[in-house]
Amino acid sequence: MLRKTVFWIHLGCGVVTGLVIAMMSVTGVLLTYERQMLAWADARSHAPIDVTADPRQSIESLLGAVRSQDPEFRPTSLTLASDPERAVTLGAGRGGGSRLVDPYTEELLGEGATGLRAFFGAVTGWHRWFNATGEARGPWRAVTGISNLAFLFLLLSGLYLWLPRVWKWAAFRVHLWFNPKVSSAKARDYNWHHVFGFWTAIPLIVIVYTATVFYYGWSNDLLYAAFGEQPPQGGRAPTAADAVAVDGASGLKTPPPPLSLDVQMRNAMQQVSDWNRITLQLPDATGEDVRFTIDRGTGGQPQHRHTLALDAASGAIAAWEPFSDQTPGRQARSWVRFLHTGEAFGLIGQTIAGIVSATTVLMVWTGFALAWRRLVSPLLRRTKAG
């Protein structure tokens, strides 16, 4: 009775949400190598950088050159790559775009691969909320969120239904690998549905579960609760950089003049010798510390990403937080984003995520085919007979 109930709920969820799941899977495949493709396209969007042209210019000089060449652009971050032939990237926050600049000649190299970036932006929009804009995103995001939950149920219930009624090796074997002796399309679809479902179940459960953390606050709270922690509520604790000098004559707080950003960048470089890229959050006029993100990995590996804050006036370490010093809950939350894409395990992880997303489309197709034969074909036969 339990098996039959689970089967019919499984079938119903698949029929109702199958097309949305297929859409999210197809867009997931298209996004598999987004990071690598954008890096490759950005590097080819401009002439090669000549490292012998001039000494590397200062950060202040680069920022001034960009302001003079593109006065409307307001950067909030600067990313420096360890590769001397890579352009410096200036970012203007979410939706503000980015600019590439030659670190030797100060030439503004443009916005990089804008066409490819727009393509991936549209694909991401479809993946998350059917590429809706403005207030229309909410309802469509709810559709993809519910479909994602249904997909998680399909995976878990599918594993239960995969188990044969009789626990014998012969019964397991027909569900473990493709049967070249299938005699009909129905038997082929049944075989493929079970085989693809079994071999992709674990990575798909990871991918789909991590997505629930993006969609639902309760899932995010449960993740932290599993480690006995409360989710962060925003803000930050005071650091050594919050201390300022007091002018003895007037009694007013007068912070000392800040060090140059180049000095601060060199200090950050010395903190981690084998860095791949360092992102500097450009401080405002009242900033009392200078913040860096230091990445030793590919850009999608949270275990290799560390944060550093330096006192703006002295360059002393105000806060240093390597990944290993984070609480277990925060570490798990950092992993979620990149487990979803597979990037946490580098190129191999991305490839696995792309493959299982592609096989999901096949499972949707075989599932629809099996549902058609079970639900629709008998009705059509009875109608024709009548």
251: tokens are 């009694």
3-state helix, strand, coil in the chain (%, to 5): 55, 10, 30
Give residue 341's pLDDT band: very low, low, confident or very high (50, 70, 90). very high
How many CA atoms lie less than 13 Å away from 103 in the CB half-sphere? 20
81-106 core/surface letters (b: 16 or more CB in 10 A; e: else): beeeebbbbbbeeeeebbbbbbbbeb
- 71 Cβ partners below 8 Å, 6+ apart? none
258-292 core/surface letters (b: 16 or more CB in 10 A; e: else): bbebeebbebbeebbeebbbbbbbbbeeeebbbbb
Quote the number of domains for the chain.
3
In a domain, residue 31? The reply is yes
**104 & 221 share domain:** no
The mean per-residue pLDDT over the stretch 358-386 comes to: 87
Q: What is the pLDDT of residues 252-284, one digit of tens each?
A: 556 667 889 999 999 999 999 899 999 999 987
In a domain, residue 80? The reply is yes
CA-CA distances (angstroms) from residue 242 to 133, 250, 268, 307, 310? 40, 20, 19, 17, 11
pLDDT of residue 23: 98
CA-CA distances (angstroms) from residue 159 to 99, 163, 165, 198? 48, 7, 13, 7
The mean per-residue pLDDT over the stretch 293-307 comes to: 94
CATH number reported for the structural domain that contains residue 287 in this entry: 3.10.450
**18 & 59 share domain:** no
The mean per-residue pLDDT over the stretch 118-143 comes to: 95
How many CA atoms lie less than 13 Å away from 1 in the CB half-sphere? 0
- The domain of 64 spans 45-112
340: tokens are 């979803």
pLDDT of residue 220: 95
CA-CA distances (angstroms) from residue 289 to 240, 256, 280, 313? 9, 12, 11, 8
**253 & 318 share domain:** yes
In a domain, residue 12? The reply is yes
Beta strands in 198-304 (DSSP E): 277-281, 289-295
Instruction: Please count the other Cβ atoms lying within 10 Å of the Cβ belonging to residue 54.
Output: 12
Q: Is 168 left (phi over 0), alpha (psi -120 to 50) or beta?
A: beta
Average pLDDT, the chain: 89
**167 & 181 share domain:** yes
pLDDT-wise least confident of 37-41, 169-173, 261-265: 169-173
**210 & 138 share domain:** yes
pLDDT of residue 237: 43
**217 & 140 share domain:** yes
In a domain, residue 378? The reply is yes
**204 & 220 share domain:** yes
CA–centroid distance for 56 within its chain: 32
Whether residue 207 is predicted with pLDDT greater than 80 in this model: the reply is yes
Using a 10 angstrom Cβ sphere, with 0-12 exposed, 13-18 middle and 19 or more buried, the burial of residue 338 is buried
Closest CA to 29 of 376, 370, 361: 361
In a domain, residue 154? The reply is yes
Distance (Å, whole) CA 373 – CA 186: 8
In a domain, residue 234? The reply is no
Phi, psi of 137 (to 5 degrees): -65, -35
CA-CA distances (angstroms) from residue 191 to 15, 157, 173, 368, 377? 19, 17, 11, 14, 20
In a domain, residue 304? The reply is yes
Distance (Å, whole) CA 308 – CA 314: 14
**189 & 296 share domain:** no
Residue that is last in its domain, among 279, 309, 326: 326
Q: Whole-model pTM?
A: 0.85
**222 & 304 share domain:** no
Residue that is last in its domain, among 326, 341, 365: 326
Is the CB of residue 223 less than 8 Å from the CB of residue 376? no
Q: For residue 115, what is the enclosing H or E element?
A: helix 114-129
Residue that is last in its domain, among 274, 303, 326: 326
**21 & 145 share domain:** yes
Grouping H, G, I as helix, E, B as strand and the rest as coil, residue 281 is strand
**32 & 60 share domain:** no
Which residue has 């912070």 as its token pair? Answer: 255
Which residue has 């390597």 as its token pair? Answer: 322
Instruction: Please count the other Cβ atoms lying within 10 Å of the Cβ belonging to residue 166.
Output: 7
The mean per-residue pLDDT over the stretch 74-100 comes to: 91
In a domain, residue 314? The reply is yes
**31 & 122 share domain:** yes
pLDDT of residue 234: 60
Grouping H, G, I as helix, E, B as strand and the rest as coil, residue 67 is helix
Give residue 247's pLDDT band: very low, low, confident or very high (50, 70, 90). very low
Distance (Å, whole) CA 55 – CA 62: 12
Instruction: Please count the other Cβ atoms lying within 10 Å of the Cβ belonging to residue 203.
Output: 18
pLDDT of residue 333: 95
